[in-house]
Amino acid sequence: MPVPHRVVIVAFPGTELLDVTGPAEVFSVATRVAASNSGNSSGSSDSSGYLVQIATADGGAVATSSGVRLLADLALDEVHGRVDTLLVAGAVDLVGDRVEPVIDGVVTDWLRAAAPPAGRTGSICAGAHLLAAAGLLDGRSATTHWLTAARLAADHPAVAVDPDPIFIRSGSVWTCAGVTSGLDMALAMVAEDHGQALALATARMMVMYVKRSGGQSQFSVPLSAPATSGDRIDDLRVWIADHLTEDLAAEALAARLHLSVRHFSRLFRLRTDSTPAAYVESARLEAARRLLEEGDDGLPEVAAASGLGSVETLHRSFQRRLGTTPAEYRRRFR
């Protein structure tokens, strides 16, 4: 009989519940759909599909961030034999006005030894911080929740952190963005293992209207960082968000701060990790997305109100940054 693809998902106290249950449900539904298609309606583990197991430090239950307790299938030191996909969930703490990723030392130590033999390793949301702490992301591209991406980059300079995509695959290591993006990454894994048809059938069964590609942008990335009182660049960033239809060329912004264009551009890049032009486009695109999600205005009105100017520019920005059209975006996310 076909051997099921073994998925082990590592959880620890404070883990985000959907980091674990989201991918687990994708793999479970994919197994049932595959079994149904093969004429085996039982969806049992001996059919082609997935065997999903949850592992915790001691094999006991853990309380997730929502308070719901997860029951483990096995302890970390009981994970023996072949592991086709090893996933680690994430957790964050709110410390004042900051979001801090939780680094579980027991899990991190275990990952150093357990991850290399696995066929595929991945993280959900802030789980990327555990992979990085275990040295598994060095020299690779990776992403995580946009709220902790800057921290990941600062703590692990050997990791090429991209805070924008829904998920990134770098060789056999996968990382994804915040919480629900774990479903998208799991669907992509199903497509890699069993083909696009099963992944799409799984998405339909789960009523996932949108099957997002890895390159799709996370929401609100350019506007995510809170402003620091008294910081001229942060004050300007807030001003930009409120004046999107004005002249926001680098020359105009530099003049507003009484700086040379060269010095302003260098300072802006240092503070935001973005050029002024790219930041302005991102801010205008974010405004256009909100208008498309929340209102009924036509594309000319959306282009004008967001500061993108013309429908042609609106289309070009959506295609380049999001890989879709404004009309399709509205259909998906309204």
Task: State pLDDT tens for residues 78-132.
Answer: 999 999 999 999 999 988 778 899 999 999 999 999 999 999 999 999 999 999 9
- Residue 2 near residue 48 (C-beta atoms within 8 A): yes
Q: Is 36 left (phi over 0), alpha (psi -120 to 50) or beta?
A: alpha
Q: Supply the pLDDT for residue 37.
A: 79
Both tokens assigned to 239: 């001003």
Superfamily for the 5-205 domain: Class I glutamine amidotransferase (GATase) domain (3.40.50.880)
Pairing of strands 62-63, 69-70: antiparallel
- Residue 38 near residue 47 (C-beta atoms within 8 A): yes
- Residue 179 near residue 161 (C-beta atoms within 8 A): no
Gyration radius of the chain over CA positions: 22
List of the chain residues with pLDDT < 70: 1, 39-47, 209-230, 333-334
Assign domain 225-333 to its CATH architecture.
Answer: Orthogonal Bundle (1.10)
Q: Supply the pLDDT for residue 267.
A: 93
- Within the chain, all domains assigned CATH 1.10.10.60 are found at 225-333
Q: Supply the pLDDT for residue 141.
A: 95
- Within the chain, all domains assigned CATH 3.40.50.880 are found at 5-205
What is the residue-averaged pLDDT of the chain? 88
